[in-house]
């Protein structure tokens, strides 16, 4: 059955460019981003993997591990990494899963047969320390992703996990948040003693809580 938000991210063992990985053990108590790309030695993927390497510090700050995946052989991936370093100004500093047998791709529904029955589309899974899927995205092979958006979502998810706030349309880190509906006004008085602005009883705005 197709995976959904809230499901446990399936565990697996796989080869990667940094050695064998047992996925849940590798996540440990971090957050994780698993992202697939269609193929080594292709232009859009080259830009994405290089850019993601440049963002590694941002993910580290948020306690998020990153791991890529393609259905290529390890040797191809390792040779391609040299090109990425040469052309994108960043050496890939996270593992890539070598999913030649499509075991992980099939487990995560990364192959969309009506797009291609041999290559993965561009998926992103954000997984929490509880190993549950928090976000799933699928992009076509021809469109590079916006990884800043993924950081924005991680910031929102981590705020929700810690403070029971949600984030409004186009929210950016540092901007006002929303008290989630599950928190009553009485509970909110304890949680947010500095108060909030009620626009409607269901739309209560507060400054972003400090981490
Ligand atoms: C790319 O990464 O450039 C790409 C891969 C597969 C299909 C189209 C583009």
pLDDT, tens only, 172-205: 999 999 999 999 999 999 999 999 999 999 999 9
Q: With a 6 A CB cut-off, is 50 part of the ligand 1 pocket?
A: no
Q: Ligand 1 atom closest to Cα of 43? A: 3
* Angle (deg, nearest 10), helices 43-54 and 147-163: 40
Cα–Cα distance, 52 to 54 (Å, whole number):
5
Q: With a 6 A CB cut-off, is 71 part of the ligand 1 pocket?
A: no
Q: DSSP per residue over the chain, as a string?
A: ----TTSBPPP-EE-BTTS-EEHHHHHTTSEEEEEE-S-TT-HHHHHHHHHHHHTHHHHHHTTEEEEEEESS-HHHHHHHHHHHHHHHS----S-EEE-TT-HHHHHTT---TTT-SSS--EEEEEE-TTSBEEEEEEE-TTS---HHHHHHHHHHHHHHHHH-EE--TT--TTS-EEE-TTS-HHHHHHH-TT--EEEETTEEEEPPPP-
pLDDT tens digits, 152-176 = 999 999 999 999 999 999 999 999 9
Give me 198's structure tokens. 């009620």
142 CA from centroid of ligand 1 (Å): 5
43 CA from centroid of ligand 1 (Å): 6
Q: Which pLDDT value is given to residue 8?
A: 98
pTM above 0.85, yes or no: yes
Q: Which pLDDT value is given to residue 161?
A: 94
208 CA from centroid of ligand 1 (Å): 39
Q: Ligand 1 atom closest to Cα of 39? A: 5
> Which of the residues 9, 14, 33, 45 is marked catalytic?
45
45 is catalytic: yes
pLDDT at residue 211 greater than cutoff 80: no
Atom 6 in ligand 1: residue holding the nearest Cα: 141
**Considering the chain, what percentage of its residues have pLDDT values greater than 70?**
100
Q: With a 6 A CB cut-off, is 84 part of the ligand 1 pocket?
A: no
pLDDT band for position 146 (cuts 50, 70, 90): very high
Q: Which pLDDT value is given to residue 54?
A: 98
Q: Which pLDDT value is given to residue 1?
A: 78
Could you tell me the CA-to-CA distances from 71 to 16, 30, 39 in Å, in that order?
Answer: 11, 25, 7
- Do residues 45 and 139 lie in contact, with contact meaning Cβ atoms separated by under 8 Å? no
- Do residues 84 and 50 lie in contact, with contact meaning Cβ atoms separated by under 8 Å? yes
pLDDT band for position 210 (cuts 50, 70, 90): confident
Query: Taking residues 87-106, what's their average pLDDT?
Result: 97
pLDDT tens digits, 105-133 = 999 999 999 999 999 999 999 999 999 99
Q: Ligand 1 atom closest to Cα of 46? A: 2
80 CA from centroid of ligand 1 (Å): 14
CA-closest candidate to residue 35, choices 106, 138, 170? 138
């Amino acid at each position: 059955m197709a995976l959904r938000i809230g499901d446990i991210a399936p565990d697996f063992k796989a080869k990667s460019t940094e050695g064998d990985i047992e996925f849940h053990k590798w996540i440990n108590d971090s957050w994780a981003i698993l992202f697939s790309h269609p193929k080594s030695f292709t232009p859009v993927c080259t830009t994405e993997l290089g850019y993601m390497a440049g963002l590694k510090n941002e993910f580290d700050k948020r306690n998020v591990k990153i791991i890529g995946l393609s259905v290529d052989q390890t040797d191809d991936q390792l040779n391609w990494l040299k090109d990425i370093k040469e052309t994108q100004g960043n050496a890939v500093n996270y593992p890539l899963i070598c999913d030649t047998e499509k075991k992980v791709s099939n487990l995560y529904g990364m192959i969309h047969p009506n797009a291609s029955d041999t290559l993965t589309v561009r998926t992103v899974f954000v997984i929490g320390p509880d190993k549950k899927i928090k976000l799933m995205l699928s992009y076509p092979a021809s469109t590079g992703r916006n990884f800043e958006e993924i950081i924005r979502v991680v910031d929102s998810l981590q705020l929700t996990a810690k403070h029971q706030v949600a984030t409004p349309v186009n929210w950016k880190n540092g901007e006002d948040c929303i008290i989630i509906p599950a928190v009553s006004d009485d509970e909110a008085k304890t949680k947010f003693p500095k108060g909030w602005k009620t626009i409607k009883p269901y739309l209560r705005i507060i400054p972003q809580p400090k981490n």
